[in-house]
Amino acid sequence: MSSALPDCCQPLAAEEKFRFACQPGATCFTDCCRQLDLALTPFDVLRLKKRLKLDSGCFLEQYVLVAWEEGMIFPACFLTMIDDGKASCVFVTIQGCSVYADRPAACRAYPAGRGISRRVDGSAEERFVLLREPHCLGFAESAEQTAPEYFHAQGLTEYNRCNDQLLRLLQHPKIQAGFRLSQAQMDQYVMALYNVDFFRQEMADGRIAMRRPLAVAELRALAGDDEELLLLGLRWLLQEYFGETA
């Protein structure tokens, strides 16, 4: 694993402490919000669209670039950056992040990162890395913590809980065996996991359907529970791609 990491990125054991604190007064304040590729998870989009009081379709149209290139299995959704010569995040201001309480998981985790893989029993196995970028002065601070402690303090627990469910799809045995998505299946992926309000409407109107009766939680999803809706979208994709109806 370490050989594939860039020089500034080191593996970090779960119990290993690192010194870091981000201070709003630091001269590097918001440098980390520029010149970056910020991949959004489905849960990031739920939080941001709710904060901005936007329908998911409007949010995607205004703020997201959907990308896919040869070698990628699933399409990726990136937050758009501003063309200001510094490729700044669309949400950064002189005061800091304008969506701070609902900032994406990658922003919360920085300068650490978390990778997960699926064990045979379906549970998630975590790995951590630390990114020591030269512009970030937070490493000079004295606060010490492990990656799990840092993530908990940054409010990542509910993000990870939701995103980890997607492993069932992202690391499905058939994907690992070489199953690849058609263009129509990529469109389904973006709709079910990112354009969730559209997905909800399509399902409520009967244009897309599960091959089994909806469970109580799935009915809640149609009635407005966005987190349940993501799970319903996940189950629908597993049905459409692999014929799973559980």
- Binding flag, residue 43, ligand SF4 (CB under 6 A): no
In 3D space, the residue among 77, 38, 80, 74 whose CA is nearest the CA of residue 196 turns out to be 77
- Which of 110/128 has CB closer to ligand SF4? 110
What does the alpha-carbon distance between residue 189 and residue 172 come to, in Å, rounded to a whole number? 14
Residue type, 137: L
Segment 178 to 217, residues that bind ligand SF4, using CB under 6 A: none
Residue 102 C-beta: closest distance to ligand SF4, Å? 9
Tokens describing residue 148: 């799990």
- Which of 138/233 has CB closer to ligand SF4? 138
Residue 8 C-beta: closest distance to ligand SF4, Å? 12
Stretch that binds ligand SF4, among 9-17, 65-73, 86-94, 174-182 (CB under 6 A): 86-94
- Binding flag, residue 103, ligand SF4 (CB under 6 A): yes
Residue 14 C-beta: closest distance to ligand SF4, Å? 21
Near ligand SF4 by CB under 6 A: residue from 99, 124, 170, 222: 99
Near ligand SF4 by CB under 6 A: residue from 9, 10, 17, 26: 26
Tokens describing residue 210: 């599960």
Stretch that binds ligand SF4, among 20-28, 55-63, 170-178, 235-243 (CB under 6 A): 20-28
Q: How many CB atoms neighbour CB 46 within 10 A?
A: 22
Distance spanning both ends of the chain, measured CA to CA? 34
What does the alpha-carbon distance between residue 218 and residue 158 come to, in Å, rounded to a whole number? 19
- The count of residues in the chain is 246
Phi, psi of 219 (to 5 degrees): -65, -35
Near ligand SF4 by CB under 6 A: residue from 91, 189, 194, 241: 91
In 3D space, the residue among 42, 46, 48 whose CA is nearest the CA of residue 91 turns out to be 48
- Binding flag, residue 107, ligand SF4 (CB under 6 A): yes
In 3D space, the residue among 230, 235, 240 whose CA is nearest the CA of residue 185 turns out to be 240
SS3 100: helix
Segment 116 to 175, residues that bind ligand SF4, using CB under 6 A: 135-138
Phi, psi of 96 (to 5 degrees): 120, -150
Near ligand SF4 by CB under 6 A: residue from 110, 159, 194, 199: 110
Residues within the interface to ligand SF4 (CB under 6 A): 22, 26, 28-33, 38, 89, 91-92, 97, 99, 103-104, 107, 110, 135-138
